[in-house]
Structure 1
Amino acid sequence: MHRRRLLAAAALLPALTHGARAHTTRGPNGGQLIDLAGGHGELVAEGNELRLFLSDNADRPRSVEGATGQAVVLAGGRQATVTLAPAGANVMRGQGDFTAATGMRVVVTVTLPGQRPAQGRFTPRDSE
């Protein structure tokens, strides 16, 4: 009896995992949108560049002046560390030794002035 339940749960696992990926929220810039640093973070990955757009909980642009950031990118079986620097009113940008592709994973750490570091996990190139 126990074994049947385990087999049934194992059979459902791929469907549940696929469903979680299928509901990725996209932001106004086409990147993956998650809760980050008391607001939202939207990560766009193109070529060898990352762009992180920050907004508050009401989706208004959030200043990145004085912010620091770092991203650890896992893509193509390799790991790269990318420094993110302010590059506009609410965007941080960085380039690294990677090529954006489906299946890539990115862990972003952002520190806004006067706040503790915040971390978010992204899969920016996975399908919507």
Structure 2
Amino acid sequence: MTQRRLLLASLTLVPFGVPFAARAHEPRRGPNGGQKVDIGTNHAELVAAGNTLRLFLFDGADRPIPAAGATAQAVILAGGRQATVALAPAGDNVLVGTGDFAAARGMRAVVTLTLPGQRPAQARFTPMDQN
């Protein structure tokens, strides 16, 4: 009976079908002050200010990855309105875009990112509602 309890206890601690490295992280503050989330096998940090979005790109180990050749689009919901913002490379690991919105608490963004040679990946952000 003791072996059975040990087996059951160990199984409750192991997630089925998902290796530890592939588990999603909770949104957290990034090094640029924005919200950082998983996007595909990488991480992205979204910083919103005024009507501008900056998307910083990082690999799975949080090292900056080049933005050259990357494309992204953000669908923003803010102030009861929806806006679409195209983001283009504007530095080593950052894409930037402006649109018809005003960054404010409660805004939400869905970003679709395509890195060179990779499939598009999506992530959801609430950049102004961080802890």
Structure possessing the higher radius of gyration over alpha carbons: 2
User: Which of 14, 34, 38 is 2:37 aligned to?
Assistant: 34
User: Which of 78, 83, 88 is 1:80 aligned to?
Assistant: 83
User: Which of 119, 123, 126 is 1:123 aligned to?
Assistant: 126
Is the 8 Å Cα contact of residues 65 and 93 (structure 2) preserved in structure 1? yes
Unaligned runs of 5+ in 2: 1-25
Higher helix share: 1
Letter in 1 for 2:90: A
Asked if 1:94 corresponds to 2:97, the answer is yes
Task: Tell me which of the two structures has the higher relative contact order, counting C-alpha pairs closer than 8 angstroms and 6 or more residues apart.
Answer: 1
Write out per-residue CA displacement over residues 50-69 of structure 1, whole angstroms, 9 at most, x where no aligned residue. Answer: 00000112211101111111
Q: Residue in 2 aligned with 1:45?
A: 48
TM-score (norm: length of structure 2): 0.78
User: Which of 62, 68, 72 is 2:71 aligned to?
Assistant: 68
Asked if 1:103 corresponds to 2:106, the answer is yes
CA RMSD in angstroms, aligned pairs only: 1.0
Structure 2 counterpart SS, 1:85? strand
Write out per-residue CA displacement over residues 50-96 of structure 1, whole angstroms, 9 at most, x where no aligned residue. Answer: 00000112211101111111000000000000000000010000000
Is the 8 Å Cα contact of residues 42 and 60 (structure 2) preserved in structure 1? yes
Q: Which runs of 4+ in 1 moved over 4 A?
A: none
CA shift at 1:24, angstroms? 4.4
Aligned pair count reads 106
TM-score (norm: length of structure 1): 0.80
Unaligned runs of 5+ in 1: 1-22
Taking only the aligned residue pairs, the percentage that are identical comes to: 69
